[in-house]
Chains A and B, each alone.
Chain A
Amino acid sequence: MSGPVPPARGRGGTVNRWAIAVVAVLTLALPPLLPERHLATFVLLLLAATVTVGVSLLMGYAGQVSLGQASFYAIGAYAAALPAVHGVPSLLGLALAPVAAAVAAVLLGAPLLRLRGHHLAFATLAVQLILLSLLAQADWAGGAIGLQGIPRLTVLGVELRDLGYAYAAWLVLAAALLIARNIVDSRPGRALRAAATSETAAAASGVAIGRHRLAVFTLSAAMAGLAGGVYAFYLGYLSPGSFPVLLSIEFVVMAVVGGLGTIAGPVVGATVIILLVQVLNTLGTQPGMPDYAPSVLSYAVYAVLLIVCVLYLPRGLVPALRRTGRRPS
């Protein structure tokens, strides 16, 4: 990247606060109005946005690309589903999801975060390939066929229906956004931003770069893990094929398109891309379209958006929109 992007700070605090409140109310009011098919998109969108918040933190503030974020999504999903399949209360399984992902991130991050740039990108990709291969051979986790019969999430004795998952995913995303916002404004957040601009200068000023970087890596993994937990209970079925390498790339695309180092960026990026892919999917499955049309269209969308954004909107949609908004018209 052409140097990490200086994060755009919220300007005009009151306006921002109102905007957030309006978006929150609207998204809370939306799920009951959606037909079932679109409700699924809504849930998956919120979960993808949650993972992207972590990716954006990692890329925007720690200046590192992870091409293996879907592995933490997978770890969270399996960590939540496996105990639940064996009769452990599902809420406990959900609580286990971010913890398992975070522990994995600490263990992996300690050696891997010595690497930078393309080395780290390939290392995280390698980790995901190893995980997928191991999962496919692990009979206790369902192997390549997958883990079936995951019970639904039960909160206070009430089994969640589709609408319940929409709100669960909403809560998960809200928590991730809140944490990200507070991290950015904290002292470690400023230290990380300094480190992303110039590691040498930051280290010389006494920033413990290694520890901060590991902390962000772990936090982003925990977010992915929590989202993975909800995903497991929502779908009720997991297999290694649910977490392809392409999924990790999709999270990177969402983060880049939305704008790295912004709080709203991941949400905007995930929304734009998932809605666009959904629209094209609907077009691609029209009668008369060849059966490969949906996959071709979605690959093309990811590719073209990523390339165009990186080359022409390197700061992503959110900062770009903010700039044009401030321009006197």
Chain B
Amino acid sequence: MSDLIGYLITGLGIGAGFALVASGLVAIYRVTRVVNFAQGGFAVLAALLTSTLLAAGLPHGVAELGGVALGALAGLIVGVVAIGRPGTSPGTSLIVTLGLGVLAYAVEVLIWGDQPRSFPGLTGVAEVAGARLPAHYLLILAVTAPVFALMAWFFARTDLGRALTACASNRYAAQVVGIDVRRMGLLAFTIGGALGGLAGVLTTPVQQVTFDSDVTLIVNGFAAAVLGGLTRPMIALAGGLLLGVTQTLVAGYGGGAYQMEVALVLMLTVMIVQAARTGPVPETAR
């Protein structure tokens, strides 16, 4: 029983990381219709910078904020390149973000090398209902929950958030009432970058990061986001947590080797079922 609780909380912690990556994907996709392949790269960049800042003697908190800020900046840069040129179609933008993801490899290897890195998070062991687990997992959950609450408030209650939501639901109408759709797209990319960065900063103390960890992150994030059709952040949160818990349970009770396949097969099944239900995806007007 205490094993189960331990696996559940560990899984939620890992899943929170996926959920943050997924919500970044959703934030960007809703506004711009671009699936941002570089989303995992934000997490890696933020985590690597945080490890450097901590090693340089900056206190916890400041270093992590620096990492998230770099994620946001990287998000803005990706946004400028991917949607900055007028008339770039979402499909083209996807390929551009793919290229930017590879470019991030060059930058990361150049600055930080190709060896795995980590940094200490919240040290110590927590005891929950008889299960002993690293306390850092609780910290991940304690940060992720308010972030999602804040996002829900931001998108529903603030003018800026409402403008973003307006772009998401109808670009043309948003333009007509005077919202700068391109600027909103760039803002969405910046938010997505910050969320990706937060995921990297939070999960690196329990999972080492290398320059190519972004593939795992983006695939799991996409799997979580695709549950809600890439447009609903709360379903992405649920999807991420579900993926994390399932993977930890599979690793804990089954063989540890097959946890990646769980996410992948789930993602394929969801997409195929969705496609079968809606029929061929409607063509976008050109």
- Residues on A lying within 8 angstroms of B by beta carbon are 1-3, 65, 67, 111-112, 114-119, 121-123, 125-127, 129-130, 133-134, 137, 198-200, 245-246, 249, 252-253, 256, 292, 295-297, 299-300, 302-304, 306-307, 310-311, 314
B19: which A residues are within 8 A, CB to CB? Answer: none
Which of A116, A200, A245, A307 sits near B100, CB closer than 8 Å?
A307
Contact yes or no, B94 A121, CB < 8 A = yes
Contact yes or no, A123 B92, CB < 8 A = no
Among B100-122, those with CB < 8 Å from A are 100-103, 105-106, 109-110, 113-114
* Contacts A/B (CB < 8 Å), 21 sampled: A65-B91, A112-B268, A114-B276, A115-B272, A116-B275, A116-B281, A119-B281, A122-B35, A122-B267, A129-B219, A129-B264, A130-B260, A130-B265, A133-B258, A296-B110, A299-B102, A302-B99, A303-B105, A306-B99, A310-B96, A311-B88
Contact yes or no, B283 A199, CB < 8 A = yes
Measured between C-beta atoms, what is the minimum distance from B98 to chain A in Å? 7
Instruction: Using A122-B267, A300-B106 as known contacts, say yes or no to A307 and B96 having CB atoms under 8 A apart.
Output: yes
B129: which A residues are within 8 A, CB to CB? Answer: none
Which of A116, A252, A295, A303 sits near B109, CB closer than 8 Å?
A295
Measured between C-beta atoms, what is the minimum distance from B166 to chain A in Å? 23
Measured between C-beta atoms, what is the minimum distance from B238 to chain A in Å? 19
B265: which A residues are within 8 A, CB to CB? Answer: 130
Contact yes or no, B95 A256, CB < 8 A = yes
Question: 5 extra interchain contacts, Cβ-Cβ under 8 A, other than A1-B95, A116-B280, A311-B81?
Answer: A117-B91, A122-B219, A123-B268, A125-B215, A245-B215
Contact yes or no, A1 B283, CB < 8 A = no
0/1 interface trace, chain B 73-97, chain A, CB 8 Å (1 if under): 0000000010001011101101110
Contact yes or no, A119 B219, CB < 8 A = no
Measured between C-beta atoms, what is the minimum distance from A82 to chain B in Å? 21
B106: which A residues are within 8 A, CB to CB? Answer: 296-297, 299-300, 303
B91: which A residues are within 8 A, CB to CB? Answer: 1-2, 65, 117-118
Instruction: Using A307-B81, A311-B85 as known contacts, say yes or no to A292 and B95 having CB atoms under 8 A apart.
Output: no
A111: which B residues are within 8 A, CB to CB? Answer: 268, 272
Q: What's the dominant secondary structure at chain A's contact region?
A: helix
Bound-complex Cα distance A249 to B96 (A): 12
Q: What's the dominant secondary structure at chain B's contact region?
A: helix
A249: which B residues are within 8 A, CB to CB? Answer: 98, 102
Contact yes or no, B109 A299, CB < 8 A = yes
Measured between C-beta atoms, what is the minimum distance from B230 to chain A in Å? 8
Contact yes or no, B280 A292, CB < 8 A = no
Contact yes or no, A130 B264, CB < 8 A = yes
A121: which B residues are within 8 A, CB to CB? Answer: 35, 94
Contact yes or no, A292 B94, CB < 8 A = no
Residue B257 interfacial (CB < 8 Å): yes
A200: which B residues are within 8 A, CB to CB? Answer: 283
Contact yes or no, B103 A299, CB < 8 A = yes
Contact yes or no, B268 A114, CB < 8 A = no
Contact yes or no, A306 B275, CB < 8 A = no
Which of B103, B106, B261 neighbours the largest number of chain A CB atoms within 10 Å of its CB? Answer: B106
Contact yes or no, A303 B267, CB < 8 A = no
A252: which B residues are within 8 A, CB to CB? Answer: 95, 98
Contact yes or no, A126 B264, CB < 8 A = yes
Measured between C-beta atoms, what is the minimum distance from A291 to chain B in Å? 9
Which of B92, B113, B272, B283 sits near A314, CB closer than 8 Å?
B92
Contact yes or no, A123 B109, CB < 8 A = no
Bound-complex Cα distance A112 to B106 (A): 32
Contact yes or no, A117 B281, CB < 8 A = yes
Instruction: Using A296-B109, A300-B106, A303-B100 as known contacts, say yes or no to A133 and B283 having CB atoms under 8 A apart.
Output: no
Bound-complex Cα distance A2 to B267 (A): 27
